[in-house]
Amino acid sequence: MKKKVLLGMSGGVDSSVSAILLQNQGYEVIGCTMTLWEQTIKDAKKVCEKLGIPHYTIDCKKEFKGKVVNKFIQEYQEARTPNPCVECNKYLKFGVFYQKARELGCEYIATGHYARIEFSKKYQQYVLKKSREEKKDQTYFLYTIAKEKLEHIIFPLQNYSNKEEIRKIAEENQLTVAQKKESQEICFIPDNDYQNFLKKHGNGIQQKGNIVLSNGEVLGQHQGFINYTIGQRKGLGISYKEPLYVLKLDKEKKEVIVGAEKELYAKELYAKEVNWMVWDKLEKPMRCKAKIRYRAKEAEAMIFPEEDKVKVIFDTEQRAITSGQSIVFYDDDGIVLGGGKII
Nearest to 210 by CA among 227, 193, 228, 222: 222
Domains of the chain: 4-112+156-172 (3.40.50.620), 206-259 (2.30.30.280), 264-342 (2.40.30.10)
pTM (predicted TM-score): 0.95
Max CA distance (Å), the chain: 73
CA distance 235 to 12: 35
Residues that are catalytic: 88, 187
**Which pLDDT value is given to residue 62?**
96
Whether 34 and 100 have beta carbons less than 8 Å apart is answered as: no
CA distance 329 to 323: 17
Residue 181: pLDDT over 80: yes
Average pLDDT on 8-17 reads 95
Whether 233 and 242 have beta carbons less than 8 Å apart is answered as: no
117-146: b or e for each residue (b if 16 or more CB lie within 10 Å)?
beebeeeeebbbbbbeeeebbbbbbbbbbe
Number of Cβ within 10 Å of residue 94's Cβ equals: 22
Query: 126-140, 178-192, 203-217, 245-259: which range is least confident on average?
Result: 178-192
Residue 231: pLDDT over 90: yes
Whether 142 and 87 have beta carbons less than 8 Å apart is answered as: no
Dump pLDDT digits (tens) for 73-84: 999 999 999 999
Whether 79 and 50 have beta carbons less than 8 Å apart is answered as: no
Cβ neighbours of residue 230 closer than 8 Å, sequence gap 6 or more? 81, 246, 247, 248, 249, 264, 320, 321, 322, 323
Average pLDDT on 214-225 reads 93
**Which pLDDT value is given to residue 190?**
86
CA distance 142 to 341: 13
Residue 20: pLDDT over 80: yes
Residue 107: pLDDT over 80: yes
Taking each helix axis from N to C terminus, what angle separates 13-24 and 42-51, rounded to the nearest 10 degrees? Answer: 20
Dump pLDDT digits (tens) for 278-326: 999 999 999 999 999 999 999 999 999 998 999 999 999 999 999 999 9
CA distance 174 to 57: 23
Average pLDDT on 152-171 reads 93
**Which pLDDT value is given to residue 132?**
86
Q: How confident is the model at residue 134 (pLDDT cuts 50, 70, 90)?
A: confident
Q: How confident is the model at residue 163 (pLDDT cuts 50, 70, 90)?
A: confident
Percent pLDDT > 70 in the chain is 100
Average pLDDT on 106-131 reads 97
Mean pLDDT for the chain?
A: 95
**Which pLDDT value is given to residue 234?**
93
Q: How confident is the model at residue 202 (pLDDT cuts 50, 70, 90)?
A: confident
Residue 327: pLDDT over 90: yes
For the chain, counts of helices (H) and of strands (E): 8, 17
**Which pLDDT value is given to residue 260?**
96
Nearest to 123 by CA among 305, 336, 279: 279
